[in-house]
Structure 1
């Protein structure tokens, strides 16, 4: 009985954290121009809306095909080398609304999978070296992946307009903090 309580707690806890970081990802594209949410901000082309699009595919695959519950919309196959990396950017024909709405539909599908399965429900991830997994493994993996990209999105958004999601800290605070860090770096250099 205690095992079931712990399993339910773990599943609910991870799922709750995943929902919070999903919302962060959607907020990162709010209030910016179409150009700014799509433009490549790193040498590899990383951009805000592309991260949202990538996480859509991540959720659709991991909480879909891994558990025999395919996402009802078409997604590229995991082994389609032609499509690899195309989920990390958005064409001029895709709108912000379409990308964000599809992400929300993917996470609704994921939520249904998470609700329907026990935390130890078996799945199969053919692209992993150890492909036999349980829902717990996938929850941790997708939460980690989403948090990783939320960190990228934090930096990209800060580059674009200085927006940070730390409450109570205004522009003056961050200007002073940056100056302090710059002084320390120069002194060490």
Structure 2
């Protein structure tokens, strides 16, 4: 069992913030585990009509983390941050692996972004507000809940893709 999964099982009576952080870290670890151990070609392999890949899901969630915690919560302008491969003409650019993307690179980028996200969130209270261009004011509590939902949803997608690729299933794979 990963450290994140073990931590989540110990938070059943923890406070709100610790519980939210543990759930998010658990699903981050589960998602990460779906990409670990895949070959470069399998990370790019799609087994569904949408073209979704395990590598693409990890890449996408790296940018989701940056958007919600650095841009929305901390208010850092997009032009001061690394630029997402998504554009107004290609909204799904962050879901596709570029030719230069590698499994190790995607994992390192995701890990680094998750650490930046943790550091950013630690400076705020759950009731602190960020401004989203479409949703308006959102609290850190809401951002955590949204990130848990989105990460868990995509971890489920990655679980199905991984099972179709090599038969691996479970929380640690």
TM-score normalised over the length of structure 1: 0.77
Equivalent residue number for residue 122 of structure 2: 115
What stretches of structure 1 move > 3 A for 4+ residues in a row? 69-73
Q: Does 1:155 align with 2:163?
A: no
With CA pairs under 8 Å and 6+ residues apart, which has the higher RCO, 1 or 2?
2
Q: In 2, are the aligned partners of 1:76 and 1:83 still within 8 Å (CA)?
A: no
Equivalent-residue separation in structure 2 for 1:159 and 1:40 (angstroms): 9
SS of the equivalent of 1:40 reads coil
Distance 1:102 1:95 in 2: 10
Find the partner of 1:124 among 122, 125, 131: 131
Q: Tell me which residue corresponds to 1:74.
A: 82
Task: Decide which of 57, 80, 99 is 2:63's aligned counterpart.
Answer: 57
- Cα distance in 2 for partners of 1:96, 1:127 equals 33
1:46 — aligned with what?
A: 52
CA, structure 1 residues 109+82, in 2 after alignment: closer, same or farther (shift >3 Å)? same
SS at match of 1:22: helix
1:21 paired residue number: 27
Aligned alpha-carbon RMSD (Å): 2.1
CA contact (8 A) 1:120 1:136 kept: yes
1:81-131 residue CA offsets vs partner (Å, 9 max, x unmatched): 124101111012112121111111111111012211000001111132xx1
For residue 107 of structure 2, what is the aligned residue in structure 1?
Answer: 100
Residue 31 (structure 1) shift: 2.0
SS of the counterpart of 1:43?
Answer: coil
Q: 1:80-95 residue pairs with structure 2 within 5 A?
A: 80-95=87-102
Change (3 A) 1:77 1:34: closer
Query: How big is each residue's C-alpha offset from its partner over 1:32-55, in whole Å with a ceiling of 9 and x where there is no partner?
Result: 221111112211111000000000
Q: Is the 8 A contact 1:38 1:50 kept in 2?
A: yes
Over 3 Å counting, the alpha-carbon distance change for 1:117 and 1:84 in structure 2 is same
1:58 to 1:134, Cα distance in 2 relative to 1, 3 A = same
**Structure 1 unaligned residues grouped into runs of 5+:** 1-7, 168-189
2:100 & 2:28 partners in 1: Cα distance? 24
Shifted more, 40-49 versus 144-153: the winner is: 40-49
- Provide the aligned length of Structure 1 versus Structure 2: 157
Q: Aligned residue for 1:135? A: 140
